[in-house]
Amino acid sequence: DPPPEAAWQAARALLLTLGALDRNGQATPAGRAMVRLPLHPRLGRLLLRAEELGSVAVGADLAALLSERDIFRRTDFEAAGPQEKPDISDRLDRISAWRQSGRASKEVDPGALQAIDRVSRQLMHLMGKRRRSSPEDRAASIPRLLLSAYPDRIAKKRDDGMNRFLLRGGRGVSISQGGTLAGNLYIIAVHVDAGKKAEGV
């Protein structure tokens, strides 16, 4: 059965935004490369951009992190979810610390860390990188990589609230009051839940 027209148009618009299709609806070289990666088109675009920037290890970690379950535990129904720890960089720091020490803090799920590490290694292999080399400039790479995958999720802080932002398309989102991102003028809202809570960088 054909997909609903609205869903079809939304998917096509996303692929155009990511540079996977040209204006005639034909696959671009980037689009053909994205098809070969076992990832959502957003994350495929992210990994290709990582290759362009020489940041494949960071890109593989980000793509794995965004495609697997969250590393932070939820102890009960009322516990704080990922939206209470909205900074993607914090998650990458936890993964790096775990790789170095072999230990995870109580709030982090070791099984999720292992799954992310496994997927990251697989993605690096697909991109022709066998192992992690010298440290990359992760702080500079993260926003550039996320912007390549989520160009439609740039959000500007509203004037009337520290934790409230407005997405490019006009939708309002908020992040945790205690989050480190709340003071930024702009964020990239990678995850937006039904309650319009955002997570990003």
Q: How confident is the model over 10-40, as pLDDT tens digits?
A: 999 999 999 999 999 999 999 999 999 999 9
pTM of the model: 0.85
Q: Quick check: 23 and 38 in contact, CB under 8 A?
A: no
Angle at the Cα of 61 from the Cα atoms of 55 and 62, rounded to 5 degrees? 90
pLDDT digits (tens, 9 = 90+) for 89-106: 889 999 999 999 988 888
pLDDT at 76: 41
Phi and psi dihedrals of 48, rounded to 5? -65, -40
Length reported for the chain: 201
The Cβ of residue 27 has, within 10 Å, a number of other Cβ atoms equal to 14
Spatial CA neighbour of 96 closest among 49, 40, 136: 136
pLDDT digits (tens, 9 = 90+) for 74-85: 654 334 444 456
pLDDT at 98: 95
Supply 179's token pair: 């989050």
